[in-house]
Amino acid sequence: MNIKLPISLTIDEQLFSRLQSHLFPGDYDEHGAVIAAGISQTARGTRLLAREIFPATDGVDYVPGTRGYRALTASFVAEQSDYCSSQDLCYLAVHNHGGIDSVAFSPDDLASHKRGYPALLQISNGIPVGALVFAKAAAAGEIWTTKGVFPLEHLTVVGKHTRRLYPSPQDAPRRSKKIYDRHTRLFGDIGQEILSGLKVVIIGLGGGGSLLNEWLSKLGIGHIVSIDFDRVDITNLPRIVGATRWDAKTWLTASRWEWLRRFGKRVAAHKVHVAERVAKKANPAIIYDAFVGDVLDAPTAELIRDADFIFLATDSIRSRLVFNALVHQYLIPGVQIGAKVTSDKYTREVTNIFTATRLVFPAVGGGCLECAGAIPASRLNSEGNNVEEQRAQNYVDDPQIGEPSVITLNVQSAAQAATDLMMMFTGLFESSADMGHIMNFARERRLNTVEPSPNPICPDCSTTKGSRKAQGDALRLPCRMRGN
């Protein structure tokens, strides 16, 4: 297996809390465990993804060592490493030291790695193995691969307060630019530096996505990837931030000649290119990748594997399935936003107007869209049918007629989503904050929070056999397979 550097480990907050409780029960002693992790090779390095932890029972699995203070027993190591290699997961032995924000392996630890890991690596089918050592707010690691031994660069805890742990405290942040003066009064230079280091993906650059794009650029996010296959249309102009009549080629698309109208639609600007223009105006230093493509296609979806956060701002249920898979398989938090207007089929009277902001963390009860019933199997089917088939099945009166859409509704769901991202990465959420899905019913002026109802055998968020959780590159994303 080729290893791209640096190597990092990502773990969800729930699993991290369990591990912390086991390692630091308050007795100031040393404890051990094993993490089974999926692997993802990305352009930003190798990401190890914690899927399960196996705490070692003191005195049974974690006993006084013959050379060091304590050690995992041979039988515990054999059992867990066998399990990991049978599941194509990376075996990571874990123990703790004292201290708070600095930690390193002891000479005894390093000597035991040299004795044990070459043999473990041989039986792991080429999958890396390694060791981690924790202090309360620090982590260090050594990863053994067929290409050499490499340090773990950092550990990311994904959750309400998404943060990184390093072996020792990092250098003080640089002073932020003057334009961010008012930001830093809220979350400091460190907060601004964290935001500038993020790679954020926006899927869908329509009404909601284009708002997010502008706000995130102004917030100082360092790297945005925007994905949309669509071009600007005259009916988008009241909603898409920065889109002009020139982008929509309105003088062509309003022509009385059909061929000219068709030509105008073909040469209108792609939504992602309008978004790129807006973002670079807001933050000339931004790294911006505009992709004309569909997240339903594997090469496009795979671009997202190394993101720090995903915004899903499309209307499609099929893209929700891919988004939910990315969140859980690659441990990337995300949020799905949308606005919906429902009307009576016969009278056409508006019955309901609501917006949704569904934050999804890669953990059981983290807001999984599958568990929330937001990915109906029937819609995954019907969205794949062509217009004639949809008409025949009476799904809609005319699938070619667009749904109602108004910028103020887009704002409602997008604003919550952008604020959630800022709060998560700068550590400003209260520990008691309710992270449920937020539904805003505009007609009733009513806000509802929908609590998660996790399915213990969910194919995405659970750890049942074959589920996506933290499997990384080992599983295929639920994308189209073209040209086969």
Partner 1 sequence: MTPEVVAAIDEIRALFSDSVVGSEEDGEGGAYVTVTGLDIGPHYEPAIASCGFRIMFQYPRADVYPHYILGGVKRRGGQSCQGVQQVTWRQQEALQLSRRSNKLNPATDTAALKLVKVLEWFRNL
Question: What's the rounded Cα separation, in Å, for the pair 19 and 482?
Answer: 42
Shortest CB 478 distance to partner 1, Å: 5
Name which of 285 and 481 has its Cβ closer to partner 1.
481
Q: CA-CA distances (angstroms) from residue 360 to 37, 65, 331, 388, 431?
A: 20, 42, 10, 35, 17
The DSSP 8-state label assigned to residue 455 in this structure reads -
What sign for the dihedral angle of Cα 169, 170, 175, 181? negative
Size of the site for partner 1 (CB under 8 A): 21
Contact 477, 298 (CB under 8 A): yes
Q: Which residues pair with 133 in a beta bridge?
A: 95, 140
Instruction: Specify the stretch interacting with partner 1 by CB under 8 A; choose among 27-35, 125-133, 396-404, 476-484.
Output: 476-484
Contact 320, 463 (CB under 8 A): no
Is residue 387 a contact residue for partner 1 (CB under 8 A)?
no
The position carrying tokens 């020139």 is: 246
The DSSP 8-state label assigned to residue 57 in this structure reads P
Q: CA-CA distances (angstroms) from residue 442 to 209, 315, 344, 408?
A: 20, 19, 17, 10
Is residue 378 a contact residue for partner 1 (CB under 8 A)?
yes
- Cβ atoms within 10 Å, residue 258: 8
Is residue 414 a contact residue for partner 1 (CB under 8 A)?
no
Instruction: Specify the stretch interacting with partner 1 by CB under 8 A; choose among 70-78, 263-271, 384-392, 404-412.
Output: 384-392
Q: Which of 25, 197, 384, 456 binds partner 1 (CB under 8 A)?
A: 384
Question: What's the rounded Cα separation, in Å, for the pair 251 and 424?
Answer: 45
Is residue 393 a contact residue for partner 1 (CB under 8 A)?
yes
Question: Pattern 293-332, binding to partner 1, x per CB under 8 A?
Answer: -------------------------x--x-----------
Contact 326, 477 (CB under 8 A): yes
> Using CB atoms within 10 A of its CB, is residue 252 exposed (0-12), middle (13-18) or buried (19+)?
middle
Name which of 266 and 476 has its Cβ closer to partner 1.
476
Shortest CB 440 distance to partner 1, Å: 26
Instruction: Specify the stretch interacting with partner 1 by CB under 8 A; choose among 101-109, 121-129, 352-360, 472-480.
Output: 472-480
Name which of 365 and 459 has its Cβ closer to partner 1.
459
Name which of 25 and 384 has its Cβ closer to partner 1.
384
Name which of 229 and 429 has its Cβ closer to partner 1.
229
Is residue 457 a contact residue for partner 1 (CB under 8 A)?
yes
Is residue 398 a contact residue for partner 1 (CB under 8 A)?
no
Q: Nearest Cα to 201, choosing from 116, 264, 284, 290?
A: 290
Omega of the bond leading into 151 within 30 degrees of 0 (cis): no
Letter for the amino acid at 400? Q
- Cβ atoms within 10 Å, residue 3: 17
Is residue 392 a contact residue for partner 1 (CB under 8 A)?
yes
Shortest CB 395 distance to partner 1, Å: 10
Q: Nearest Cα to 236, choosing from 227, 228, 226, 244?
A: 244
The DSSP 8-state label assigned to residue 480 in this structure reads B
Is residue 386 a contact residue for partner 1 (CB under 8 A)?
no
Q: Which of 380, 406, 407, 474 binds partner 1 (CB under 8 A)?
A: 380
Name which of 285 and 457 has its Cβ closer to partner 1.
457
Name which of 55 and 293 has its Cβ closer to partner 1.
293
Name which of 318 and 358 has its Cβ closer to partner 1.
318
How far is Cα of residue 347 from the mean position of the Cα atoms in its chain?
41
Q: Which of 375, 422, 438, 470 binds partner 1 (CB under 8 A)?
A: 375
Instruction: Specify the stretch interacting with partner 1 by CB under 8 A; choose among 17-25, 226-234, 244-252, 380-388.
Output: 380-388
Is residue 254 a contact residue for partner 1 (CB under 8 A)?
no
How far is Cα of residue 391 from the mean position of the Cα atoms in its chain?
36
Instruction: Specify the stretch interacting with partner 1 by CB under 8 A; choose among 46-54, 197-205, 337-345, 373-381.
Output: 373-381
Q: How is residue 187 written in tokens?
A: 């979350």
Beta strands 90-96; 32-42: pairing state: antiparallel
Is residue 476 a contact residue for partner 1 (CB under 8 A)?
yes
Residues that bind partner 1 (CB under 8 A): 318, 321, 375, 377-378, 380-381, 384-385, 392-393, 457, 459, 476, 478-484
